[in-house]
C-alpha cells in the first residue's frame, strides 16, 4: 500500500522521506572535460597576451590571402634569389608560428566537446558537428584577435593569420581525434 503525502511516501504504514536535493548523474568524463575547459581558458589568455600587446611594426592590414607569403615561398624555390635566408625565416616564424600556437587550443577544445558514446547511426552526424564546432571556435577566436589588433597602433591585422590559426586549431583537434583511446570511446 502506497500513499503519497506532501512530506514523503507511506509504504506499509511507514513514512519514507523523499530527498529534496537534485542528484545529477556522474560522468567519468566530467573531470577530463572540466580540465579541458580550464586549459581552453588558459590557452586563450596566453594567446591574447601574446597577440594583443604592442609590437614593433607599423599598423597594417592585409586582406589579400598569402600576398606576402607566396613571394617568400617562390624565393625559397629559386636558387638565384638572394633573400632565401630572410624568406625562410619569415615563413618559418610566420606560417609555422601561426599554426603552432593554435594547436594546443584545438586539442583542448577537442577534448572539451568530444562526442560521447552514441548509437552507430548517430556517430557520423555527431562527428561532423564536432569538427565544425572545434574549427568554428578556432576561426572565431582568431578573427576576434585580428579585429582587436586593428585598435593597437603597432600591430598588423592579416587574413593569413586567421587561415593559419584555424588550420592550427584543426590540427590540434585531429591529433586528439587520432588517439586510439578517443576513437574507441566515441
156, 150 Cβ separation under 8 angstroms? no
Confidence of residue 186 (pLDDT cuts 50, 70, 90): very low
d(CA 40, CA 26): 22
Whether the pLDDT of residue 124 is over 70: the answer is no
Cα(110)–Cα(127) distance, integer angstroms: 11
Segment 11-21, tens digit of pLDDT = 555 555 555 56
Query: Considering only CA atoms, which of 44, 40, 39, 43 is closest in space to residue 145?
Result: 44
Tell me the pLDDT of the chain averaged across its residues: 83
- Collapsing DSSP to helix, strand or coil, 82 comes out as coil
Identify the sign of the CA torsion 97, 141, 167, 184. positive
Question: Helices marked H in 54-158 — which ranges?
Answer: 69-77, 84-91, 97-100, 103-112, 120-149
Mean pLDDT of 116-129: 60
Instruction: Report yes or no on whether pTM surpasses 0.75.
Output: yes
**Which contiguous run of DSSP H or E holds residue 173?**
helix 159-178
Q: Is the pLDDT of residue 32 over 60?
A: yes
Amino acid at each position: 500500500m502506497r500513499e503519497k503525502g506532501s512530506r514523503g511516501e507511506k509504504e506499509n504504514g511507514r513514512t519514507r522521506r523523499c530527498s529534496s536535493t537534485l542528484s545529477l548523474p556522474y560522468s567519468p568524463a566530467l573531470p577530463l572535460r572540466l580540465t579541458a575547459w580550464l586549459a581552453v581558458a588558459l590557452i586563450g589568455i596566453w594567446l591574447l597576451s601574446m597577440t594583443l600587446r604592442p609590437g614593433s611594426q607599423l599598423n597594417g592590414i592585409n586582406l589579400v590571402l598569402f600576398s606576402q607569403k607566396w613571394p617568400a615561398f617562390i624565393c625559397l624555390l629559386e636558387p638565384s634569389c638572394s633573400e632565401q635566408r630572410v624568406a625562410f625565416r619569415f615563413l618559418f616564424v610566420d606560417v609555422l608560428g601561426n599554426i603552432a600556437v593554435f594547436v594546443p587550443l584545438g586539442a583542448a577544445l577537442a577534448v572539451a566537446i568530444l562526442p560521447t558514446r552514441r548509437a552507430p547511426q548517430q556517430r557520423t552526424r555527431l562527428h561532423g558537428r564536432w569538427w565544425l564546432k572545434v574549427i568554428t571556435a578556432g576561426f572565431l577566436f582568431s578573427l576576434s584577435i585580428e579585429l582587436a589588433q586593428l585598435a593597437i597602433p603597432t600591430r598588423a591585422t592579416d587574413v593569413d593569420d586567421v587561415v593559419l590559426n584555424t588550420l592550427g586549431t584543426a590540427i590540434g583537434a585531429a591529433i586528439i581525434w587520432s588517439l586510439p583511446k578517443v576513437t574507441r570511446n566515441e
